[in-house]
């Protein structure tokens, strides 16, 4: 049981590092321009509000996918992804091995 717990702890740590690396790439993306009126209550048609909201959503998604694309091309992120996948595989192997031993003892 201790082996699988340690393996799962390692999975958590590896994915935390991977998440921080992807976040760093996201944070480095240029932010979409904001309207000078943002945050102010200005009279506008409902359609304009919807269009502006959709445009902001599109800009945010574009930013997120650009960051993800940059992260995928970053060799450090690639190494961390491989490390996280390996630790996940190791944890699954240890867990199934321990479960198998328990069933054999019954």
| Structure letter (DSSP) for residue 34 | -
pTM: 0.51
Asked if residue 35 is part of any domain, the answer here is no
Asked if residue 7 is part of any domain, the answer here is yes
Token pair 């997120």 is found at: 64
Q: Is the pLDDT of residue 67 over 90?
A: no
> Mean of the pLDDT values across residues 12-22?
87
104 or 50: whose pLDDT is higher?
104
- At residue 64 the predicted structure's pLDDT band, cuts being 50, 70 and 90, is confident
How many domains are there within the chain? 1
Asked if residue 56 is part of any domain, the answer here is yes
Asked if residue 94 is part of any domain, the answer here is yes
Alpha helix stretches (DSSP H) within the chain: 2-27, 46-73, 75-105
Its domain, for residue 61, covers 2-30+46-105
- At residue 25 the predicted structure's pLDDT band, cuts being 50, 70 and 90, is confident
Dihedral angle sign, alpha carbons of residues 74, 80, 86, 92: negative
* Encoded tokens for 92: 């699954």
% residues pLDDT > 90 (the chain): 14
At residue 86, the pLDDT reads 93
Q: Mean pLDDT of all residues in the chain?
A: 81
Asked if residue 41 is part of any domain, the answer here is no
At residue 89, the pLDDT reads 93
How far is 91 from 85, CA to CA, in rounded Å?
Answer: 10
């Amino acid at each position: 049981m201790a082996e699988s717990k340690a393996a799962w702890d390692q999975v958590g740590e590896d994915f935390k590092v991977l998440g921080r690396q992807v976040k760093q790439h996201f944070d480095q993306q240029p932010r979409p321009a904001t309207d000078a009126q943002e945050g102010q209550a200005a009279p506008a048609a409902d359609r304009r509000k919807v269009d502006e909201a959709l445009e902001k959503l599109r800009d945010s998604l574009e930013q997120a996918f650009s960051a993800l694309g940059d992260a995928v091309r970053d060799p450090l992120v690639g190494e961390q992804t491989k490390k996280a996948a390996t630790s996940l595989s190791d944890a699954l192997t240890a867990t199934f091995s321990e479960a198998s031993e328990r069933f054999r003892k019954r």
